[in-house]
């Protein structure tokens, strides 16, 4: 049984925690306000009832004492009233307006003795002294509504009317000593109506105040709950955004690390290629020239000397041409002040001059504000793309396109069908992997398409302001 009760309480607590703040407050407030309204309503109606009963009883007692008090003074020395006061009381009760309201009258002596009653059978009898009668002999006016449970009240109960039972002390005129107590039974029908109306109005006011208070508090809590929910959603969105940014930062960090590693590897490969080019080209020619110079020093025949001089000069000229060719591939044009379109066009002109091929160029509207890093990236992209096109497609169908796609700069190098796998695996120059790392290190994207028997397309998309600062 205890386990079942504990489980029920736990389930109730879990259900309450799943509710919103407004719903939880509404449930709590309804319970508290109902209890407060019930207690307050009962308390207020009880006070109103007591006040109305006391007020009515006081007025009736004062009026009855002014009439019966002088008639009952002989009870100071006697236990019952004589015939004269009895007849006077009966006449007053029969003819006055007060008699229409007062249903019955009794007069008590100390010790529970009935000194007068409209029912003559009760005169001279003794009954147990009730608390109300005792308080009246102590000088209080005591009243009760519909409490006719005493033995001597049988005839009054038989009337079936709602009665207000009033105990009023009868005093000596000058000393104020209580010599008897008058008990009056007043018809309480008007009083009941008044009390009923008072209770209805009181409950209406209490309920209205409770509802108004509940609605006001509920409105405040609902607004606060809405603000809290909005802030909670905003915090959740910010947390999700922070997590997303953190994930992007992690990805960018990994990309930068990969790019740095590959850049180091690419630089080593690039240096090896330059070393190989210098060793296999200019170094060999210079070595040939040095050997010829040794023979030139030993030659005595002028014709032989002239022939050797020609060979030396040709070897040195060829070495200089190869050195210049190597340097032209390493150097960049002046791009600080040049527009992006001019940088791309310069890369195309240089390629056409060295390869004697034709390149179609389509340059759209380009932004004026482009960072130097983006210009260098675009130059190397076009340079490497055209070199690959010349190497693997003999320069057929070479085309360079540049323009804006929304806020992003797009540059494309295309050529006729070629061996895409060979292009991807080619280790000369920057290579496709090097281009990808260069573009992605600036936050751009790189794509390479080499379908079978289809046009080869290499595209970079990057923001014009990438690499700023």
- Residue found under tokens 């179609």: 360
Q: What is the pLDDT of residue 55?
A: 72
Average pLDDT over residues 360-374: 89
- Residue 315 in contact with residue 292, Cβ under 8 Å? yes
Strand partners, 458: 413, 448
CA distance 380 to 400: 13
Average pLDDT over residues 395-422: 85
pLDDT in tens, 295-350: 666 666 777 777 777 777 777 777 777 777 666 656 566 676 788 888 899 889 88
CB neighbourhood size of 257 (10 A): 10
Helices 302-330 and 284-298 cross at an angle (nearest 10°) of: 160
Question: Is residue 428 predicted with pLDDT exceeding 50?
Answer: no
Question: Is residue 411 predicted with pLDDT exceeding 80?
Answer: yes
Out of 72-76, 148-152, 225-229, least confident range: 148-152
Average pLDDT over residues 440-447: 87
Burial of 307 (0-12, 13-18, 19+ CB in 10 A): middle
Q: What is the pLDDT of residue 413?
A: 95
Higher-pLDDT residue of 297 and 162 is 162
Q: What is the pLDDT of residue 431?
A: 66
Handedness of CA 265, 266, 268, 273 (dihedral sign): positive
CA distance 107 to 387: 135
* % of the chain surpassing 70 pLDDT: 76
Can you tell me whether residue 433 is helix, strand or coil? helix
CA distance 171 to 130: 20
Strands 113-117 and 102-109: antiparallel
Average pLDDT over residues 215-230: 78
CA distance 86 to 281: 157
Distance of CA 414 to the CA centre of its chain: 52
Distance of CA 408 to the CA centre of its chain: 36
Closest CA to 145 of 103, 107, 189, 104: 189
CA distance 245 to 241: 6
Q: What is the pLDDT of residue 108?
A: 84
Question: Is residue 422 predicted with pLDDT exceeding 70?
Answer: no
Distance of CA 153 to the CA centre of its chain: 71
pLDDT in tens, 251-308: 878 877 776 666 666 676 667 767 766 765 676 667 666 766 766 666 667 777 777 7
CA distance 183 to 364: 116
pLDDT in tens, 129-147: 888 888 888 888 888 777 6
- Residue found under tokens 């609902």: 222
Q: What is the pLDDT of residue 155?
A: 65
Q: What is the pLDDT of residue 399?
A: 94
Handedness of CA 101, 104, 105, 106 (dihedral sign): negative
DSSP-derived secondary structure letter, 76: G
Give the pLDDT band (50/70/90) at residue 425.
very low
Closest CA to 82 of 38, 123, 37: 123
CA distance 228 to 163: 60
Q: What is the pLDDT of residue 82?
A: 82
- Residue found under tokens 């009439």: 67
Cα–Cα distances in angstroms (integers) from residue 323 to residues 142, 349, 380, in the given order = 131, 20, 20
Biggest CA-to-CA distance, the chain: 191
Can you tell me whether residue 425 is helix, strand or coil? helix
Q: What is the pLDDT of residue 6?
A: 61
CA atoms within 13 A on the CB side of 392: 26
Average pLDDT over residues 365-372: 87
CA distance 384 to 413: 9
pLDDT in tens, 35-51: 777 787 777 777 777 77
Q: Report the C-alpha dihedral over residues 415, 418, 422, 426, rounded to 10 degrees.
A: -30
Higher-pLDDT residue of 159 and 200 is 200
Q: What is the pLDDT of residue 427?
A: 43
Full set of structural domains in the chain with CATH: 19-187 (3.30.450.20), 334-469 (3.30.565.10)
- pLDDT averaged over every residue in the chain: 77
pLDDT in tens, 77-127: 888 888 888 887 777 777 776 667 777 888 888 888 888 888 888 888 888
Task: Name the phi and psi angles at 79, rounded to 5.
Answer: -95, -15
CA distance 170 to 109: 10
Cα–Cα distances in angstroms (integers) from residue 138 to residues 167, 277, 379, in the given order = 11, 134, 119
pLDDT in tens, 184-196: 887 777 777 777 7
Is this prediction's pTM over 0.75? Answer: no
CA distance 69 to 254: 111
Q: What is the pLDDT of residue 457?
A: 93
Distance of CA 112 to the CA centre of its chain: 76
Closest CA to 397 of 410, 405, 382, 386: 386
Q: Report the C-alpha dihedral over residues 9, 10, 15, 21, rounded to 10 degrees.
A: 90
* % of the chain surpassing 90 pLDDT: 7
Q: What is the pLDDT of residue 459?
A: 95
Closest CA to 56 of 153, 218, 150, 189: 189
- Residue 448 in contact with residue 458, Cβ under 8 Å? yes
């Amino acid at each position: 049984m205890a386990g079942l009760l504990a489980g029920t309480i736990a389930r109730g607590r879990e259900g309450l925690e799943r509710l919103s703040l407004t719903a939880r407050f509404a449930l709590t407030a309804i319970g508290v306000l109902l209890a407060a309204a019930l207690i307050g309503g009962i308390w207020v109606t009880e006070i109103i009832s007591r006040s109305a009963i006391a007020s009515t009883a006081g007025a009736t007692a004062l009026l009855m004492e002014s009439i019966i008090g002088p008639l009952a003074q002989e009870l100071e020395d006697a236990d019952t009233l004589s015939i004269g006061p009895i007849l006077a009381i009966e006449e007053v009760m029969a003819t006055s307006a007060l008699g229409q309201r007062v249903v019955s009258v009794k007069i008590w002596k100390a010790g529970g003795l009935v000194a007068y009653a409209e029912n003559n059978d009760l005169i001279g009898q003794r009954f147990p002294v009730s608390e109300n009668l005792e308080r009246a002999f102590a000088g209080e006016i005591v009243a009760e509504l519909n409490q006719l449970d005493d033995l001597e009240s049988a005839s009054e109960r038989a009337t079936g009317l709602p009665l207000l039972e009033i105990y009023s002390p009868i005093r000596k005129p000058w000393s104020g000593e209580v010599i008897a107590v008058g008990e009056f039974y007043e018809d309480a029908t008007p009083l009941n109506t008044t009390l009923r109306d008072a209770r209805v109005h009181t409950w209406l006011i209490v309920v209205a105040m409770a509802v108004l208070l509940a609605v006001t508090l509920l409105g405040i809590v609902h607004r606060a709950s809405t603000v809290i929910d909005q802030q909670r959603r905003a915090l959740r969105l910010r947390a999700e955004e922070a997590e997303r940014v953190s994930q992007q930062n992690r990805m960018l960090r990994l990309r930068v690390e990969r790019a740095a590693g590959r850049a180091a590897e690419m630089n080593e490969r690039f240096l090896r290629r330059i070393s190989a080019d210098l060793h296999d080209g200019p170094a060999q020619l210079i070595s040939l020239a040095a050997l010829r110079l040794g023979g030139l020093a030993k030659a005595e025949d002028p014709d032989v000397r002239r022939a050797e001089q020609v060979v030396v000069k040709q070897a040195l000229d060829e070495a200089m041409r190869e050195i210049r060719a190597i340097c032209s591939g390493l150097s960049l044009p002046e791009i600080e002040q040049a527009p992006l379109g001019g940088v791309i066009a310069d890369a195309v002109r240089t390629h056409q001059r060295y390869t004697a091929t034709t390149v179609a160029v389509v340059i759209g509207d380009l932004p004026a504000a482009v960072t130097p890093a983006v210009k260098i990236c675009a130059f190397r992209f076009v340079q490497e793309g055209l070199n690959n096109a010349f190497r693997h497609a003999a320069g057929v169908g070479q085309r360079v396109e540049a323009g804006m796609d929304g806020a992003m700069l797009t540059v494309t190098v295309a050529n006729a069908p070629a061996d895409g796998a060979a292009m991807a695996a080619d280790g000369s120059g920057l290579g496709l992997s090097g281009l990808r790392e260069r573009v992605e290190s600036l936050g751009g994207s790189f794509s390479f398409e080499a379908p079978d028997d289809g046009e080869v397309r290499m595209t970079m998309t990057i923001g014009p302001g990438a690499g700023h600062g």
